[in-house]
Amino acid sequence: MIYENSLIKVEIEESEIPWLKIFTQKDIKEFSQCNNETKIEILRALDIIEKEMLSYFNPEKINIASFGNYVPHVHFHIMARFKEDSYFPEPMWGKKQRESDLALADITEFYKIVYEKLNQPS
């Protein structure tokens, strides 16, 4: 986990690509069931993460997914996608297309930047 407050937490998904997940702290099944404060906090974090992924990694595309069939708990996946990743243009849950040929900037530094941005007052 790289960030947590009373409404959300941001976790790292171990992958060949930069991939973070935002979860609600409360066990809420659907986004529409979140109160406005939680919705705003999710969108604030999503916006920060997407902008930092774009700036830091310069990906081909950012993928954002929200489905929780196995984990019926509000959460969003934010993934930086590259033509050289193993699955592009398929989703990361799709059919592998090739062996990855990525040379990414330091992911640890990226996590620090995201943590600092998420901790700044709104």
CATH number, domain containing residue 63: 3.30.428.10
CB contact at 8 A, 9 and 71: no
Q: Percentage of the chain with pLDDT > 70? A: 100
SS3 (DSSP) at 61: strand
What's the whole-number mean pLDDT along residues 36-56? 98
Range of the domain at 71: 3-109
In this predicted structure, what is the pLDDT of residue 72? 78
In this predicted structure, what is the pLDDT of residue 69? 74
Token pair of 119, please? 């901790």
Residue 119, in any domain of the structure: no
Predicted TM-score (pTM) above 0.85: yes
Residue 95, in any domain of the structure: yes
In this predicted structure, what is the pLDDT of residue 89? 96
Residue 118, in any domain of the structure: no
Q: CA-to-CA distance for 105 and 35, rounded, in angstroms?
A: 37
Q: CA-to-CA distance for 98 and 92, rounded, in angstroms?
A: 12
Taking all residues of the chain, what is their mean pLDDT, rounded to a whole number? Answer: 95
In this predicted structure, what is the pLDDT of residue 34? 97
CB contact at 8 A, 87 and 96: yes
What's the domain count of the chain? 1
